[in-house]
Amino acid sequence: MTATTIRPGWSHPVRAAVPPFTDAGLRRVLEKVQRWAPHVDGLLLDDVAAVLDDYTPTEHEVDEHAQRLRGHLMRLVHLAVVSKVAEQDGQVADLINRGRTIGTEEVPTDHRRAVGHLRRMAWTLHELLERLVAHQCLTEAP
């Protein structure tokens, strides 16, 4: 079905809009979205474990670990902000601030300080993860 518009000088036919779903289809999609909970993927847990275990990352691994941890941390910080958990839990609010601060800091050039920075980032990530799971913002398994 096409129709011409009322706008002067516009003579191209315009097709009528067709919604992508029926009412029942939209309700079904809404229910799925409301039931959805992000999961904690294995990579996040592996990256935290790699930094917090007895193994000390080498100088060549520090930047890669920092980049990966920063990505995980920012993802969880954004999730905590969007889910408004910080309004209910002061500890989450503190972890969000700590995560934002440590996530934007440069990795020190000294290897020992760089490892310390990675471990602070990993502990912050781990604590935030635990609080979000406790508030049921995340599921523990994929």
Q: Are residues 119 and 66 in contact, defined by beta-carbon separation less than 8 angstroms?
A: no
DSSP reduced 3-state for 105? coil
Q: Does residue 7 have a pLDDT over 70? A: no
pLDDT, tens digit, for every residue of 112-140? 999 999 999 999 999 999 998 888 887 65
Q: What is the mean pLDDT of residues 96-103?
A: 93
CA-nearest of 115, 80, 130 to 100 is 80
CB 137 within 8 Å of CB 80: yes
Rounded Cα distance between 66 and 47, Å, is 10
Residue 21 confidence class, pLDDT cut points 50, 70, 90: confident
